[in-house]
Amino acid sequence: MARATISLPVVVIALMSTLSRPFCGGAAAPSETVGMPGCDTTCGNINVPYPFGMGPARCYHSAGFNLTCDRISHPPRLLLGYDGTLQVTEITLWSSTVRVVRAATRAIIKTTSSQDRRNTAFGASFTGANSGVAVAVASPYKLSRGNELILTGCNALAELLDGTGNVVSGCASFCRLTGAAGPRIFLDVPCSGSGCCRAPIYNPVAPGELQFRWLNGKNHSQDMAALPTYVLVAEEGWFDQAAVAHQLRTGQSVAELEVPMVLQWTVKQGLAVANFSLTGNGGCSGEVTHNLCKSKHTVCVNLGDEDGYICQCWFGHDGNPYVTDGCKDVDECEQAEQYGCFGECTNLPGTFDCRCPPGTHGNHTIPGGCAKSTKGMAGKCFVKSRGNGRLTNLGVRITLEKWFGPDS
């Protein structure tokens, strides 16, 4: 069976087929095997691919991947988490991420107290911390790099702490208060530290707390009166929406918001391995590869440091690497121009062949590049597929690091 093991630094090269998908559309793959036989794989309009599942334990890989479909709601809601407060809106295998939304009443911390410092537990809904669940320490989820910390208000500092109390992100917001006239800020300009601030989350993290502190002396009544003070974590780009930013910076209809987040997931349980130490060439052990990456044409990635494992389909393939025959050959020729082929395209297993048509010659990688041959010689070039796109190694590295962090 064509499987492979790989270490994180090598993933930059090996995962070109899957990690390029956000940048350009890929060719349609044959019908995918999504989940385990006899198991539901949809909830409303949301697909639920294995290792996720609903219902019996055989339908999902291990604790944390079991989801609940609330079919009483209209439309149905797919729920994740130890407290049922996270609604799943998308599960993505290529990036090992889950997009969730949460009601503002639970996702946004509003500060109405002049207390100098306030710490609020954050992340227990997906890490299981303080939930009393025995498997909490092995939760498959972390907060992804696709999120940011957001603070609105005047003269305040917000910090995101991990489970051990270390600061992993933070920012401060300042206002020049001018008495009865209020703060000198402009609500229609980008958030840049005046009345609000944002900070990236540089690496996936299991969060512990959100910490808020006032910065302006002991009397904070003027700060609180100037602008509403909110602290939250949300998916990057969400706060860029003018309507969302206006609601948070003015305090209008905030309770109506649903806050999106991106969670990173890996497989940690159910693999019958003693630990997560790197083995052999720095990749997955043969046992892990066999037990986890069920499809042909897959690669197993050991993220190390007790972060678990993930599987990916190999070059020129798409689908679900966690199920038997889940990775299917992609027919690049169905969208040949997406792959830089403006000539005659022939699909091959895991790749494709592109050449100028008979009787022509030239550069088949550009529109109109094949011209009628004057010498009766047709130009020919064999091009190996780079998967779902025409990206440079740098582009793939950037995409990889967006989700898993820089190479160590």
Query: Are 232 and 133 in the same domain?
Result: yes
If asked whether residues 354 and 372 sit together in one domain, one would say: yes
Residues 187-199: tens digit of each pLDDT: 555 787 888 999 9
Q: Which of 312, 329, 346 is the last residue of a domain?
A: 329
**Do 109 and 232 lie in a common domain?**
yes
Look up residue 8 and give its amino acid.
L
Question: Are residues 336 and 321 part of one domain?
Answer: no
pLDDT at 62 over 50: yes
Provide φ and ψ at 334, rounded to 5°. -65, -25
Name the token pair of 255.
């309770």
Residue 229 lies in a domain: yes
Quote the pLDDT of residue 5.
47
What is the distance between the alpha carbons of residues 168 and 233, in angstroms, rounded to a whole number? 12
Per-residue confidence (pLDDT) for residue 112, from 0 to 100: 76
Same domain, 11 and 32: yes
Q: What is the pLDDT of residues 209-266, one digit of tens each?
A: 999 999 877 678 888 888 899 999 999 999 999 889 889 888 889 989 999 999 999 9
Q: What is the dihedral of CA 271, 310, 205, 122, to 10 degrees?
A: -70
Q: pLDDT by residue (tens digit) across 341-356?
A: 999 999 998 899 999 9
Is pLDDT at 186 greater than 70 in this prediction?
no
Within a domain: 311: yes
Q: Are residues 322 and 337 in the same domain?
A: no
Q: How confident is the model at residue 404 (pLDDT cuts 50, 70, 90)?
A: low
Give the mean pLDDT of the chain.
79
Residue 24 maps to a domain = yes
Structure tokens at 404: 């898993």
Domain contains 387: no
Quote the CA–CA distance of 151 and 40 in Å, as a whole number: 40
Residues 249, 107 share a domain: yes
- In whole angstroms, what is the distance from residue 151 CA to residue 157 CA? 8
Is residue 266 within 8 Å of residue 147, measured between CB atoms? no
Q: Is 80 part of a structural domain of the chain? A: yes
pLDDT, tens digit, 9 for 90 and up, residues 373-389: 876 444 444 444 334 43
Buried b (16+ CB within 10 A) or exposed e, 26-60: bbebeebbbbbeebebebeebebbbbbbbeeeebb
Residue-wise pLDDT tens digits, 76-113: 999 997 677 899 999 999 999 999 999 998 899 888 77
* 3-state DSSP assignment of residue 66: strand
The last residue of one of the domains, among 254, 289, 306, is: 254
Same domain membership, residue 243 and residue 107? yes
pLDDT category at 363 given cuts 50, 70, 90 is very high
What average pLDDT does range 282-301 have in this prediction?
Answer: 86
Write down how long the chain is: 408
392 domain residue, yes or no: no
Per-residue pLDDT at 219: 73
Tokens in use for 367? 């529109």
Structurally, the chain folds into a number of domains equal to 3
309 and 338 together in one domain: no
| 52 inside domain | yes
342 lies in the same domain as 353: yes
Distance CA 307, CA 163 (A): 15
Q: Give the Cα separation of 404 and 399 in Å (integer).
A: 9
Give the pTM.
0.79
> What is the domain range of residue 351?
332-381
Looking at the predicted structure, is the pLDDT value of residue 286 above 50? yes
Residue 394 lies in a domain: no
Same domain, 190 and 64: no
Q: Which pLDDT score, from 0 to 100, does residue 9 have?
A: 41
Our CA angle for 332, 338, 341, nearest 5°, is 75
Residues 339 and 325 in one domain: no
